Amino acid sequence: MDARADDDNGGNESPGPTHEDLRDLIARFETMGEIERIADADSHLELSALCELITVRNPGAEPALLFDKIKGFEPGYRILSGASNSFKRLAVVLGVPVPEQRLDIVKSYRARMKKGARMIPPRVLSSGPVLENVLRDDAIDLTRFPAPFVHELDGGRYIGTEDLVVMRDPDSGWVNVGTYRIQVHSKNEVGIWISPGKHGRMIREKYFAKGQPCPVLISCGQDPLLFLSSNAELAYGVGEYDYMGGQRGRPVDVVLSELHQLPMPARSELVLEGEIYGDETRLEGPFGEFMGYYASEASQQPVIKIRRVYHRDDPIMTLAVPSRPPSNFTVARGVVKSAMIWDEVERAGLAGVHGMWNHEAGAGRLFNVISIKQMYPGHAKQAAMLAANCQSGAYAGRWVVVVDEDIDPSDIHAVLWAMCTRCDPPNDIDYIRGHWSTPLDPMLRTAPYENNRAIVNACKPWGWKDEFPKTAEASPELRSRVMRRWPDLFSR
């Protein structure tokens, strides 16, 4: 069976995402038994430590946490953690079947991308729930919202971690949506940190070069599908709202902001609007980041002056807790990024792909595994180089491992076994030097922020792969027969 036939069997008959917004999802998660409500947690460290502990205990199967009655804040001001960070919840968010095996969700999501996804521009509405409350100028007080103090060594409270940052290119009018961390400085000022090479940084620099502040929107609570799309490594000039609409199969509903007519999701929970000033900076950070370290020190970063706040009644902020993996977003990030890399390497002409997985231990970026059926000499090297250099795999990688089709790339034990038994290190490991990375990489101390990465061929040697020793394990037929005879042993 070739890779495309196998992919089609992944289950792709779902109509796509059917939920309306974050609140609709929360209701569905509760009926699934996938959410825990927590009262009286302290937003200073306690809340985020709970998120971290719950994730580490059972990654990929932990409940989402909904915090209410947060200490020191008005009842009704809530925080949701890990909305899409279980395979069951992520399937609902993406609108694909709940997977029986981990790789099934990548296959299903990718199959829908190939067969039906297209760019659908957002639909502009005259109003929406996000406009239930509008605070202007002197009425703004960001300290009313329970922005968490996430890690013990952080430099302050962060209102934007699982957020959307919306900017418009001043030359082309292209609207970009990214995810960048947002620190609260005062009642009406926040800081923003953007890694070099990211589209938001390119856009703001255009405004700064013209001597102008950069208009910006920051959504601090929204449908997790929008967050996952904002994390997608789309090409420069491609609109994330259009991509989001394609994933949903219908337009994203937006309303235009008062000051700069920037589009914000009509059902976002909390949105800030203002301008980024390149000539006004404040100390931002430090902040524990997605690789699990404080790799970038506190630094002077541009200030955003907030002039409008839009929020729903009883707003729900969404929270990512970047930390030593697994984190409360690495499952969701890994699935989406795996599907995108798989799609990109096949569009580049690579045949015989059986699976792709971005492992949580690598924060969904640093340890990527591609499974292929070898078809010609050099096939494994080609697969590795494409996975390392395509748009979705290029940023901040470290390891790319290629395995044969009998290895499930999502099974870390199987991957390590292949590396230990099918890889000859001096001959099967190559290196790419001077690749695109980030100041958040703990191995990089100074600019330029370029890293090196390893390409590992953990496939059977091409020249004698058919004579490679047989695997010592029960056949699929024997396994099925035994499981049928003692079903109770396998249902626990």
Domain residue limits, the chain: 13-99, 123-314, 330-477
Give the per-residue pLDDT at 15.
Answer: 67
* pTM of the predicted model over 0.75: yes
**Interacting residues of 134 by C-beta distance below 8 A, sequence separation 6+:** 258, 308, 309, 310
Q: Which of 475, 452, 456 is nearest to 383 (CA)?
A: 456
Which residue in the block uniquely carries the two structure tokens 């937003």?
A: 43
Query: What's the CA gap between 390 and 412, in Å, rounded?
Result: 23
| Contact (CB, 8 A) for 411 and 404 | no
What would the pLDDT profile of 414-452 be if each residue is shown by its tens digit?
Answer: 999 999 999 999 999 999 999 999 999 999 988 889 999
Give the per-residue pLDDT at 232.
Answer: 84
| Contact (CB, 8 A) for 44 and 156 | no
| Contact (CB, 8 A) for 204 and 194 | yes
| Contact (CB, 8 A) for 234 and 105 | no
Q: Residue 231 — very low, low, confident or very high, per pLDDT cuts 50/70/90?
A: confident
Query: What's the CA gap between 275 and 281, in Å, rounded?
Result: 13
Sign for the CA dihedral angle at 281, 271, 187, 285 comes to negative
Greatest distance between any 2 Cα atoms in the chain: 76
Query: What's the CA gap between 420 and 414, in Å, rounded?
Result: 10
Assess whether pLDDT exceeds 50 at residue 213: yes
Identity at 133, one-letter amino acid code = N
Query: What's the CA gap between 414 and 191, in Å, rounded?
Result: 43
Specify the length of the chain in residues.
492
SS3 content of the chain, % helix, strand, coil (to 5): 30, 25, 45
What would the pLDDT profile of 121-180 be if each residue is shown by its tens digit?
Answer: 999 999 999 999 999 999 999 999 999 999 999 999 999 999 999 999 999 999 999 999
What would the pLDDT profile of 60-82 be if each residue is shown by its tens digit?
Answer: 999 999 999 999 999 999 999 99
Q: What is the mean pLDDT of residues 238-248?
A: 91
Q: Which of 242, 234, 237 is nearest to 120 (CA)?
A: 242
Q: What is the mean pLDDT of residues 21-48?
A: 96
Give the per-residue pLDDT at 3.
Answer: 38
Higher pLDDT, 218 or 15: 218
CATH number of the domain at 330-477, out of 1.10.1040.10, 3.30.420.40, 1.20.1600.10, 3.40.1670.10? Answer: 3.40.1670.10
Q: Using alpha carbons only, what angle is made at residue 200 by residues 196 and 205, rounded to the nearest 5 degrees?
A: 75
Identity at 61, one-letter amino acid code = A
DSSP-derived 3-state class of residue 158: strand
Task: Return the structure tokens found at 423.
Answer: 């890889």
Which residue in the block uniquely carries the two structure tokens 């015989």?
A: 352
Q: What is the mean pLDDT of residues 44-50?
A: 96
Residue 38 phi, psi (nearest 5) = -130, 130
What would the pLDDT profile of 274-318 be if each residue is shown by its tens digit?
Answer: 999 999 999 999 999 999 999 888 999 999 999 999 999 999 999
Identical topology for domains 123-314 and 330-477: no
Q: Residue 203 — very low, low, confident or very high, per pLDDT cuts 50/70/90?
A: very high
What would the pLDDT profile of 89-104 be if each residue is shown by its tens digit?
Answer: 999 999 999 998 999 9
> Which homologous superfamily does the CATH classification assign to the domain defined by 123-314?
Electron Transport, Fmn-binding Protein; Chain A (2.30.110.10)
Q: Residue 112 — very low, low, confident or very high, per pLDDT cuts 50/70/90?
A: confident
DSSP-derived 3-state class of residue 92: helix
For 156-298, where are the E strands, in sequence order? 158-160, 164-168, 175-178, 181-184, 189-193, 214-221, 253-256, 263-265, 270-284
Assess whether pLDDT exceeds 70 at residue 114: yes
Task: Return the structure tokens found at 171.
Answer: 């030359």
Residue 346 phi, psi (nearest 5) = -70, -40
Q: Please state, rounded to an integer, the average pLDDT across all residues of the chain.
A: 93
Give the per-residue pLDDT at 115.
Answer: 67
Identity at 423, one-letter amino acid code = C
